[in-house]
């Protein structure tokens, strides 16, 4: 049984999110949530909430046991980039790219 959850338009760049999701890939849900609570990265809180949401969906909608779930797949894709600008000296402007990401997680039950 696969349980999927998705977070769209997370205001953290995919490059920074991938540093966090590489830590929790393949771990059990409880260990992943514990590791993310103590990880000092901006993307750790949205990823933790996404994994907890997927685990809650598995319990309530499919009747699965939270202790038997593990993070099978997790990946971050690029979402739309908001282009901003800051004006510089001599009539120039400096582009600022506000990147965002879509994060998807798949939880599976241990056999």
Distance separating alpha carbons of residues 65 and 56, to the nearest angstrom: 10
Complete domains list, the chain, with CATH: 2-109 (3.90.470.10)
Residues 85-96: pLDDT tens digits? 999 999 999 999
CB 14 within 8 A of CB 50: no
Sign (positive/negative) of CA torsion 46, 73, 35, 58? positive
> In the predicted model, what is the mean pLDDT of the chain?
96
SS3 50: helix
Mean pLDDT over 41-54 rounds to 97
C-alpha distance across the termini of the chain, in Å: 10
Is residue 12 scored above 90 in pLDDT? yes
């Amino acid at each position: 049984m696969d349980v999927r959850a998705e977070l769209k338009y997370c205001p953290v760049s995919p490059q920074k999110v991938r540093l966090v999701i590489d830590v929790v890939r393949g771990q059990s849900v409880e260990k992943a949530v514990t590791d993310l609570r103590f990880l000092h990265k901006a993307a750790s809180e949205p990823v933790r909430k996404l994994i907890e949401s997927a685990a809650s969906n598995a319990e309530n909608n499919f009747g699965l046991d939270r202790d038997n779930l593990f993070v099978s797949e997790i990946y971050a894709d690029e979402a739309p980039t908001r282009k901003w600008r800051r004006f510089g000296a001599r009539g120039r402007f400096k582009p600022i790219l506000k990147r965002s990401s879509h994060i998807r997680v798949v939880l599976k039950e241990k056999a």
